[in-house]
Amino acid sequence: MRVIPFRSRQPRPAKPVALDDHARDNIRFIRETMERAGSFTAIPGWGGIAMGITAMGAAVIASRQGSPSDWLFTWACEAAVAVGIAVWTTYSKAREAGSTLFSGPGRRFVYSFVPPLFVGVLMTLLLARIGSIEEVAGVWLLLYGTAVVAGGAYSIRIVPLMGLCFMVLGTMALFCPLSWGNAFLACGFGGLHVIFGAVIARNYGG
Amino acid sequence: MAAKPGAFRSEREEKKRSAPAPHPAKASAANLDRLIHERTRLAIVSALAVNTSLAFNELKDLLRVSDGNLSVHARKLEDAGYITCTKSFSGRMPKTEYRLASSGRRALEKYLNHMEALIRATRES
């Protein structure tokens, strides 16, 4: 029990201010709940940076490969590494925030993110079969961009912007000389991931 | 309620009423929606406002409340017609799904307007 002096019990002049603050606090509470409930915020910034760095490494290694199939194999390995990083960092960021990948927003994110990637795999197989695997850079960038834009509709606003940048790069790659493909991949999967990853890590908690 | 203080207040109220926004203290006391003013219920309504439907467990994880707490508050909202609740089975597991009813959406809008009016009124005075 605490003894409160009688006079200080009714701080009358402060009352309207407190009421005002209370209203502000209520609105903030509603907004935060809506954001938490409506969008998937577990996009890992540090994961993006890590994926960007491995992609740059992969671009350097891939550029030294003699045959198109070795080049493709290098990038396929990088894709596997990137998926591993993405799943692990997203999972841990979601868990830290007390949500899961398969809560309402997380599930919607995954459902819109995965189909374009699946199409990307099919297109890669198709291009490999008809012997024009060099064309694949633009296709990868475009479809990854589509996945990020689609999934990002349920996430923080910067995510669809990153997807859009990927799509712009992909479009450029389609209409530029094929020999630039590897450089476009380095810019996209390397550069864009590092830049946006850093922004997300700084502004959106890791 | 004593008559004298009430009369005094209404006199002051008349003056304030000529102003465009209602005075915060009076407005809040009179027509604040107590039903969604409570934090857990406000959170339930807010979360449902941005989702077509949420399962009991999803809502529970999202709001970090206990089973009992959530079901009591959800029941109150359901009784008021603010949310609808459908129970079904997925396999053998019972599944409870909540949706925001249109009256609940209106109540949330009204509550938000109320809070905004309160802030405006305080700023003006």
Is the pTM here over 0.80, yes or no?
Answer: no
Specify which residues B88 forms β-bridges with: B95
The yes-or-no verdict on residue A125 having pLDDT over 90 is yes
The H-assigned helical ranges of chain A are 15-38, 45-63, 68-96, 104-129, 136-152, 158-174, 181-185, 193-203
Do B43 and A33 make contact, defined as CB atoms within 8 angstroms?
yes
Computed over every residue of chain A, the mean pLDDT equals: 86
ipTM: 0.71
Closest-CA distance of chain B to residue A185, Å: 36
Both tokens assigned to A176: 């530029």
The answer to whether the CB atoms of A36 and B47 lie below 8 A apart is: yes
Q: What is the pLDDT of residue A132?
A: 86
Residue in B58, B108, B119 nearest the CB of A20: B119
Which run of H or of E encompasses B14? helix B3-17
pLDDT, tens digit, for every residue of B40-79?
Answer: 999 999 999 888 788 898 889 888 899 999 999 999 999 9
Nearest CA in chain B to A14: B122
- pLDDT tens-digit readout, A147-191: 999 988 877 778 899 999 999 999 999 999 988 999 999 999 999
pLDDT score for B18: 43
Indicate if the pLDDT at residue A135 is higher than 50.
Answer: yes
First to last CA, chain A: 43
Q: Of A112, A201, A117, which is closest to residue A153 (Cα–Cα)?
A: A112
pLDDT above 70 as % of chain A: 86
Comparing alpha-carbon positions, the chain A residue that sits nearest to B50 is A38
Chain A neighbors of B37, CB-CB under 8 A: 26
Q: Which of A18-32, A112-126, B79-93 shows the lowest per-residue confidence on average (mean pLDDT)? A: A18-32
Rounded to the nearest angstrom, the minimum Cα separation between A51 and chain B is 29
